[in-house]
């Protein structure tokens, strides 16, 4: 059944990453049902194409496009940004939703382990490359997690050589999301672009079972007993992307549609500036 609901006067061009499963797919579906034009980004060509077609069919919204990028490959992020600039008019909303979790440390060529690359460096790079392609009053929405409250950030050990634990790496990357959000707001102070971060809630997505073998489904089953649906998890993302209630609101961390206090360490401006400088170097953006 088609559930098309048009908001013609407020139609936005929205790019959402990690949109082929879980929270990202649920958010894309909800935004499409509202009548917005979407660019969904995924890693797998067949899966991303199928998700885009499913969203078109189920919502009756034909303005659903897709692009491909593996967020562990920063060159693909550069190519993604160029495709967006070439193929689409200026963006109204950028939703940095793509995320990952690895139970074992995975090396990269970028001077940081893979969780940090995918969850922080890739959206950092993409956002910076698309800043000049944002409309006035555009919105940037960064999907973080309440796990950032336990995050620690040693900028001298981004490969976690001293000690690697999957949850520790994930917590650190989610803290980086919030630090990045607040520092980006300070750097965009003279613009009308808003930037906010959010906790979607506990959702039993597949990222926590990717490399756990037979333990993966078991872990997902345990998490599912305490989790919310992907649709519920996507609610705050959709709210921040489109609601008139948050027009002009910036530099906030949201949970369940409410601005809440983030981790004390996330307000450390000196750390945020250091993280920005390191991120520029690792992504070769400056």
Euclidean distance between CA atoms 130 and 82, whole angstroms = 9
State mean pLDDT over 226-232: 86
Q: Quick one: DSSP state of residue 228? A: B
Q: What integer pLDDT is reported at residue 10 of this predicted model?
A: 86
Strands lying side by side in the sheet with 194-199: 64-68, 37-42, 13-17, 91-96, 134-143, 194-199, 252-255, 258-260
Q: Are 40 and 16 in contact (CB under 8 A)?
A: yes
Catalogue the long-range contacts made by 129-132 (C-beta closer than 8 Å, 24 or more residues apart): 129/77, 129/78, 129/81, 129/285, 130/15, 130/81, 130/84, 130/85, 130/91, 130/94, 131/188, 131/193
Checking if the pLDDT of 72 tops 60, the result is yes
| Active-site pick, 101, 102, 110, 170 | 170
**Which stretch of 7-21, 24-38, 72-86, 191-205 has the lowest confidence by average pLDDT?**
7-21
pLDDT mean over 246-269: 98
Q: What pLDDT is attached to residue 227?
A: 77
- 253 annotated active-site: no
DSSP type of residue 121: I
Domain range summary for the chain, segments of one domain joined by +: 8-283
Q: Count Cα neighbours of 68 within 13 Å in the Cβ-side half-sphere.
A: 8
Q: How would CATH label the architecture of 8-283?
A: 3-Layer(aba) Sandwich (3.40)
At CA 21, angle to CA 171 and CA 108, rounded to 5?
50
Model confidence, pTM: 0.92
What token pair was written down for 258?
A: 């409410």
Confidence band, pLDDT 50/70/90 cuts, at residue 1: very low
Least confident of 88-92, 121-125, 215-219: 215-219
The confidence score (pLDDT) of residue 203 equals 85
């Amino acid at each position: 059944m088609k559930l098309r609901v048009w908001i013609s006067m407020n139609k936005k061009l929205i790019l959402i990453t990690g949109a082929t499963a879980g929270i990202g797919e649920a958010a894309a579906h909800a935004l499409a049902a509202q009548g917005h034009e979407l660019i969904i980004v995924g890693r797998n060509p067949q899966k991303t194409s199928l998700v885009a077609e499913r969203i078109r069919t189920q919502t009756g919204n034909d303005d659903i496009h897709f692009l491909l990028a593996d967020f562990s490959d920063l060159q693909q992020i550069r190519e993604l940004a160029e495709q967006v600039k070439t193929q689409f008019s200026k963006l109204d909303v950028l939703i940095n939703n793509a995320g990952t979790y690895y139970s074992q440390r995975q090396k990269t060529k970028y001077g940081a382990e893979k969780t940090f690359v995918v969850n922080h460096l890739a959206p950092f790079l993409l956002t910076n490359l698309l800043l000049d392609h944002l409309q006035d009053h555009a919105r940037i929405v960064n999907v973080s997690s309440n796990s950032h409250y336990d995050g620690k950030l040693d900028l001298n050990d981004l490969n976690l050589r001293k000690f690697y634990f999957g949850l520790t790496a994930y917590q650190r990357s989610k803290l980086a999301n919030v630090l990045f959000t607040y520092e980006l707001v300070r750097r965009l102070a003279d613009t009308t672009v808003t930037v906010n971060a959010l906790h979607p809630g506990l959702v039993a997505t597949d990222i926590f079972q990717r490399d756990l073998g037979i333990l993966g489904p078991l872990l997902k089953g345990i998490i599912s007993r305490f989790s919310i649906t992907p649709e519920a998890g996507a609610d705050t993302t959709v709210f921040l992307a489109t609601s008139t209630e948050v027009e002009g609101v910036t530099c906030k961390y949201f949970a369940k549609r409410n601005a809440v206090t983030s981790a004390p360490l996330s307000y450390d401006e000196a750390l945020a500036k250091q993280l920005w400088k390191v991120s520029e170097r690792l992504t070769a953006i400056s």
